[in-house]
Amino acid sequence: MKKVTLILPFLILGLSFILINCTKDKTTAPIVSNFITADCPDTIKFVKDIMPIISDNCTSCHANGQSPQISDYATVSANAEKILNSFTGSNGLPFMPQGGNAVNDSLIQKFKCWISQGKLNN
């Protein structure tokens, strides 16, 4: 009996911890979940691979006052997850390019790889 009274507080503590963790808001983390590096055999280059996607499809609006500003390494990397989700209109982001054709799947794949490789400025 004594053992039970000793263990009880810890049990309650443990249970409430689990409960709190489970009910915690699952944040709207966009992302490249379970993305495996095997899908990205090549190192993606920002200048050669990523910036052209943005220049071809986005800067006509997003380097000219439309928020978010996405016009260079700093602004593209800071908004990378939003940009990725906007390519498909996922996770609450509006589909982009607005009024245009979807960015090609292979380019979206490159963008994902660039993020999973740590958004290199190369």
Question: What does the binding site for ligand HEC look like in residue numbers (CB under 6 A)?
Answer: 57-58, 60-62, 66, 68, 82-83, 86, 93-94, 96-100, 103
Closest approach of ligand HEC to the CB of residue 8, in Å: 49
Determine the Cα–Cα distance for residues 94 and 97; give it in Å rounded to an integer. Answer: 9
Cβ at position 101, least distance to ligand HEC in Å: 10
Closest approach of ligand HEC to the CB of residue 116, in Å: 18
Long-range contacts of 39-43 (CB under 8 A, 24+ apart): 39/109, 39/112, 39/113, 40/112, 40/113, 40/116, 40/117, 42/113, 43/117, 43/120, 43/122
Q: In the complex with ligand HEC, which residue's Cβ is closer, 16 or 66?
A: 66
Q: What is the DSSP letter of 104?
A: P
Give the nearest distance from C-beta 35 to ligand HEC in angstroms.
19
Q: Between residues 43 and 66, which has the closer beta carbon with respect to ligand HEC?
A: 66
